[in-house]
Amino acid sequence: MNDNNFDKLKEELTNITVPTEKLATLRQNGYTKYKKRQKRTRLYFKQVALIAVLAIVFVTSIRVSPAFANAVAKIPGFAPLVEMITKDKGLKDIVDNEYFEALNIVQTKNNITLTILGTIADETGIVIFYELEAPFNLSNLETKEFQLRQNGEVINGSSTSGWPYTEASKTIQGKLEVIATSKIDYSQPDFEIYLKFGDTKETSFTIPFTLTKPIQPSKVYDVNKPLEIDGQTIYVQSLTISPLRAELKLKADRQNTMQILQIDQLKVLDEKGEEWGKIQDGLVGLGGFREETNSIFIQSNYFRKPEKLTLVLDQIEALPKGEDYVEIDFLRQKVVKVPPIEDFDIKILDSNSIEVTYKPKVDHHVQLFSDVIDAKGNKFYQNSFSVYENHNGFTENAYQFDLKGAVNPVQIYFFSYPHYLKGSTQIEIPLTE
């Protein structure tokens, strides 16, 4: 092997004719594929012991009146609320009752200006609205870390951060949300936001803020009643109503032959027949039927003060026990087991992520998987979930799991799948505290 050989190599390479026109077409194809894939929303999140239930909804139409949307957009710092309100009735009440606090705290670092616009806070969690500005495009900037601290300690809970996909832009409005594992204590309402971004300088911000407006306490109603459906039993434990959300706690009977997953249609009605549905976008629940905790979030009617509520459960997802997981060997890049369900395809992407294609009969937005049990029985969690555009009725999802130290093969349990129990069921909830 000498330099002559390499001169020959160079000559060989230079002699290869370059099909310039075809290359231009294929480069364009590659770029188009990227743009299509980019039209997706992605949620990055951190699991803290509890499984966070996430849903991603593409909003195509704004269902609030333009006048109302305009009015909200004028409240300084709450423009991102408009989009949220289109998906959550409880937030409209929050705005009507002026249950929010404007902050407008500005900090600039490495040419990035972060403005904390304002918050909505209650005992269950805090939503923070913010704006980013920079002399460069921010639409692809990744939020690497987000923490909300109180008295120097991170508030335990699930958090989400980021913004929906936008075209290239130098200003971004986003939202940070923490849903606390236990009641947030507001006797000392001093907090600190820590945010780190994925720019080349890994710019981070630490912003302290204090809330001055009073926090409305949650109202707790104990129910403890069983519900029967399609031979399976579900216990309704309690309903807690707070300004940001109502939290319904459910439990499945151990004797059930089916593993209950999600409840796709769930609503509460007040005595006048007015309905509140599940929270549809972002963090829509905590835990699951396999876990100790199973909380489903419903849009709040806190400010309406209803006299009684009827709870309706419909489209209850379930898979036969033992057929409710996929088994994957990431080491050998092999799918070991897939339950016998139609139109379901799974692809291993790399050492900790998979891509799934399936065909739901109705719109299905919740993540399919959450926790992973490795060959040694240890539990691991999913840490990213994205939805790609639908085509021919198929939905394409990608999941990434935090598998540090896991022993292969691993079992990835279904958290949701559009396969339903027959029928629906309902129960009355008397609202005596």
For binding to other proteins (CB under 8 A), which residues are involved?
1, 5-6, 8-10, 12-14, 16, 18-20, 22-24, 26-27, 29-31, 33-34, 37, 136-137, 139-140, 142, 168, 198, 200
Q: Closer to other proteins at the Cβ: 30 or 340?
A: 30
Distance from first CA to last CA of the chain, Å, rounded?
86
Q: Closer to other proteins at the Cβ: 165 or 343?
A: 165
Q: Closer to other proteins at the Cβ: 30 or 377?
A: 30
Q: Closer to other proteins at the Cβ: 7 or 428?
A: 7
Q: Closer to other proteins at the Cβ: 23 or 407?
A: 23
Q: Closer to other proteins at the Cβ: 5 or 187?
A: 5
Least separation in angstroms between residue 1's CB and other proteins is 4
Least separation in angstroms between residue 32's CB and other proteins is 9
Q: Closer to other proteins at the Cβ: 26 or 106?
A: 26
Q: Closer to other proteins at the Cβ: 135 or 214?
A: 135
Least separation in angstroms between residue 388's CB and other proteins is 12
Least separation in angstroms between residue 28's CB and other proteins is 8
- Helix H segments across 149-210? none
- Structure token pair of residue 303: 């400010």
Tell me how far apart the alpha carbons of residues 361 and 297 are, in angstroms, rounded to a whole number.
Answer: 24
The answer to whether 260 and 274 are in contact (CB under 8 A) is: no
Whole-Å CA distances, 359 to 37, 59, 364: 18, 20, 9
Q: Where does residue 77 fall: left (phi above 0), alpha (psi -120 to 50 degrees), or beta otherwise?
A: left
Q: Closer to other proteins at the Cβ: 167 or 307?
A: 167
Least separation in angstroms between residue 357's CB and other proteins is 18
Minimal CA–CA distance to 124: which of 1, 359, 297?
A: 297
335 pairs with which residues across the strands? 328
Q: Closer to other proteins at the Cβ: 6 or 190?
A: 6
- Structure token pair of residue 80: 């991102």
Residue 88 identity (one-letter amino acid): D
Cα angle, residue 421 at apex, residues 237 and 362 outer, rounded to 5°: 105
Least separation in angstroms between residue 6's CB and other proteins is 4
Tell me how far apart the alpha carbons of residues 64 and 61 are, in angstroms, rounded to a whole number.
Answer: 9
Q: Closer to other proteins at the Cβ: 106 or 349?
A: 349
Whole-Å CA distances, 155 to 50, 191, 196, 292: 14, 10, 17, 20
Least separation in angstroms between residue 13's CB and other proteins is 5
The answer to whether 184 and 125 are in contact (CB under 8 A) is: yes
Least separation in angstroms between residue 38's CB and other proteins is 8
SS3 assignment, position 153: strand
425 exposure class (CB count in 10 Å sphere: 0-12, 13-18, 19+): middle
Can you list the pairs that 76-81 forms with residues at least 24 positions away whose Cβ atoms lie under 8 Å? 76/102, 76/104, 76/117, 76/118, 77/102, 77/103, 77/104, 77/115, 77/117, 77/118, 77/129, 77/131, 78/102, 78/117, 78/118, 78/129, 79/129, 79/173, 80/129, 80/173, 80/174, 80/175, 81/129
Least separation in angstroms between residue 12's CB and other proteins is 6
Least separation in angstroms between residue 2's CB and other proteins is 10
Please state, as a whole number, how many other Cβ atoms lie within 10 Å of the Cβ of residue 344. Answer: 15
SS3 assignment, position 127: strand
Least separation in angstroms between residue 168's CB and other proteins is 6
